[in-house]
A and B are shown apart, each in its own frame.
Chain A
Amino acid sequence: MVWMVLSPAWKQMSWFYYEYLLDTALYVLEPWERTVLKSMLVSVMGMALNTGYISMPLSIMAILLYFETVQ
């Protein structure tokens, strides 16, 4: 697997991943703990994006109306 994709982009990406693990102390956690944290992060981000996608156009319209830019 590693030999197959040893292109520079993959190496750079895996180095960034290593840096991310080091900076947030995920490096010392066991694999299942990492899964827990990643799923929590993904779910929080997913919920934020979902709310944004649904309600952002309405909010922007409301703000523009408030500032009487669009009637």
Chain B
Amino acid sequence: MRPGPGGCCCRRPVRANGCVANGEVRNGYVRSSAAAAAGQIHHVTQNGGLYKRPFNEAFEETPMLVAVLTYVGYGVLTLFGYLRDFLRHWRIEKCHHATEREEQQVIVRIFDSEKSLRYTGNIIKDVINMGSYNYLGFARNTGSCQEAAAKVLEEYGVGVCSTRQEIGNLDKHEELEKLVAWFLGVEAAMTYGMGFATNSMNIPALVGKGCLILSDELNHASLVLGARLSGATIRIFKHNNMQSLEKLLKDAIVYGQPRTRRPWKKILILVEGIYSMEGSIVRLPEVIALKKKYKAYLYLDEAHSIGALGPTGRGVVEYFGLDPEDVDVMMGTFTKSFGASGGYIGGKKELVDYLRTHSHSAVYATSLSPPVVEQIITSMKCIMGQDGTSLGKECIQQLAENTRYFRRRLKEMGFIIYGNEDSPVVPLMLYMPAKIGAFGREMLKRNIGVVVVGFPATPIIESRARFCLSAAHTKEILDTALKEIDEVGDLLQLKYSRHRLVPLLDRPFDETTYEETED
């Protein structure tokens, strides 16, 4: 193992992407305090210098006691669930389910749901919103976006009532598509009415039977649905794990299709920019290196990362300093950072022209509504700085600062936080099923709205609370929120983390910096 430029020499084996195997690697994850070290390792002893900045991602292991108690909790709930089902079936207990009455086969009346699951009907004012994907703060009812949208509303109306290929192609749509193509740095782009439908309707148009799709373990439901609808063979690689992806690519090229051994018509790699449940960022430089080596195609879903990452908000491609032409299909949505709705696909002109004719969404789905289009145009111009103000740049910088500050403070408090240092999605681990509801309620009592997620959106023991930071959050708002999270964390005993933060050192590494400092 030759020493890196810093003069450090690591005894431990260095894997292909430079992350060190110190004996505690699970699915490509590295223990959290060594992640600070691994970030520097990426930077220093590198395979060709793919990464221009440290890549700090950490997924701390679940503490054993917490895992056991979580399983006990789920066991208790399962037992009682079966008991209640039994009682309902034998009509010992009144069944509150929505059922059709025999006399009314045509009209279905919805009965009250379970007594304990009734909506409380409370209206709470002045709640800090930490759960919506409003990354750059464009979802507000004042400002230039709102005025422009109101003007367009008066001019065009709301409904389009037609599809893109029929009468629904307005000049606003053409303007938007040119703007999107310029924003991303690609040749052409096409926009659709719904972000979910963009994925699920366009992947079948791009691949079919005889093609191979390599999709990440934790891809969004829209990508999974699109992949399944297309009829191609799907193989899953472990989350963000480049060794797994390379192995699959090698096997695909060597062995070909399963029975006939013919070569695959196309190999498409499906990844996302930021994974919203984990807060992790894709290892894009390595994916692109692999794609070029094995001549596959790359489909990048930037739903959460467009507008939120990168010095000028161009997304994960700019964050890593790569060329947008390397990504074959750049997909994204306008729902998160632009405060509107809809999705886009950008790429080479031939690709976009093909999609205009062959996409299901263009043929059957209604096109975007004009005020929404105007909102996107105004917010995109604002981000690019073309409206004359520096509001866009300030928003992006504010978001980056908020992200680092919030993550650092939460880690210092002792919570287990998943994901990359720079991602504005912050999952805070709760693990136990009862704490999911308790956390949500306690935070709402203190006027902070959070989103809590459990099974099946996450693995069964890894339930979490997901915070989404926004440029609209000021430091005071974040401090208030952090104080309340601290309080609730003490009340519910959520501070599971057993690692103290090892500060990033600039001296050459020796054995001791790999040791975790445990409490």
Residues of A within 8 A of B (CB): 15, 19, 21-30, 33, 37
- DSSP majority for the B interface? helix
**Chain B proximity of A18: nearest CB distance (Å):** 8
Interface residues on B, range: 10 to 19
Which of B73-81, B224-232, B270-278 lies on the face that meets chain A? B73-81
A26 to B437, CA, bound (A): 12
B72 x A24 contact (CB < 8 A) = yes
A26 to B74, CA, bound (A): 10
Assess whether B390 is interfacial by the CB under 8 Å rule: no
A37 to B433, CA, bound (A): 17
Q: Which of B69, B84, B433, B493 contacts A28 (CB 8 A)?
A: B433
A25 to B433, CA, bound (A): 6
A25 x B492 contact (CB < 8 A) = no
A19 to B491, CA, bound (A): 8
A41 to B203, CA, bound (A): 54
Assess whether B148 is interfacial by the CB under 8 Å rule: no
B432 x A37 contact (CB < 8 A) = no
Q: Which residue of B lies closest to A15 (CB)?
A: B491
A33 to B77, CA, bound (A): 10
Q: Which residue of A lies closest to B437 (CB)?
A: A28
B260 CB contacts on chain A under 8 angstroms: none
B74 x A22 contact (CB < 8 A) = no
A18 to B72, CA, bound (A): 16
Assess whether B116 is interfacial by the CB under 8 Å rule: yes
Assess whether B438 is interfacial by the CB under 8 Å rule: yes
**Chain A proximity of B49: nearest CB distance (Å):** 48
A25 x B74 contact (CB < 8 A) = yes
B116 x A25 contact (CB < 8 A) = no
Known contacts A24-B69, A30-B116, A33-B80, then 6 further A-B pairs from the complex at CB < 8 Å, ordered by chain A residue: A15-B491, A22-B492, A24-B434, A25-B76, A25-B433, A37-B80
B438 CB contacts on chain A under 8 angstroms: 22, 27
- DSSP majority for the A interface? helix
Instruction: With a 10 A CB-CB cut-off, give which of B116, B433, B434 has the most chain A CB atoms.
Output: B434
A25 x B434 contact (CB < 8 A) = yes
A29 to B78, CA, bound (A): 11
Q: Which residue of B lies closest to A25 (CB)?
A: B73
Contact (A25, B432) CB under 8 Å given A30-B116, A33-B80: yes
B411-462 CB contacts (< 8 Å) to partner A: 432-435, 437-438
A21 CB contacts on chain B under 8 angstroms: 434
**Chain B proximity of A37: nearest CB distance (Å):** 7
A28 x B77 contact (CB < 8 A) = yes
Q: Which residue of B lies closest to A33 (CB)?
A: B80
Can you report 11 A-B residue pairs in the complex whose CB atoms are below 8 A from each other? A22-B438, A23-B72, A24-B69, A25-B77, A25-B432, A25-B433, A28-B433, A28-B437, A29-B80, A33-B84, A37-B80
Q: Which of A22, A30, A33 contacts B432 (CB 8 A)?
A: A22
A19 CB contacts on chain B under 8 angstroms: 492-493
A32 to B435, CA, bound (A): 20
B492 CB contacts on chain A under 8 angstroms: 19, 22
Instruction: With a 10 A CB-CB cut-off, give which of A19, A23, A37 has the most chain B CB atoms.
Output: A23
Binary A-proximity of B224-258 (CB < 8 A = 1, otherwise 0): 00000000000000000000000000000000000
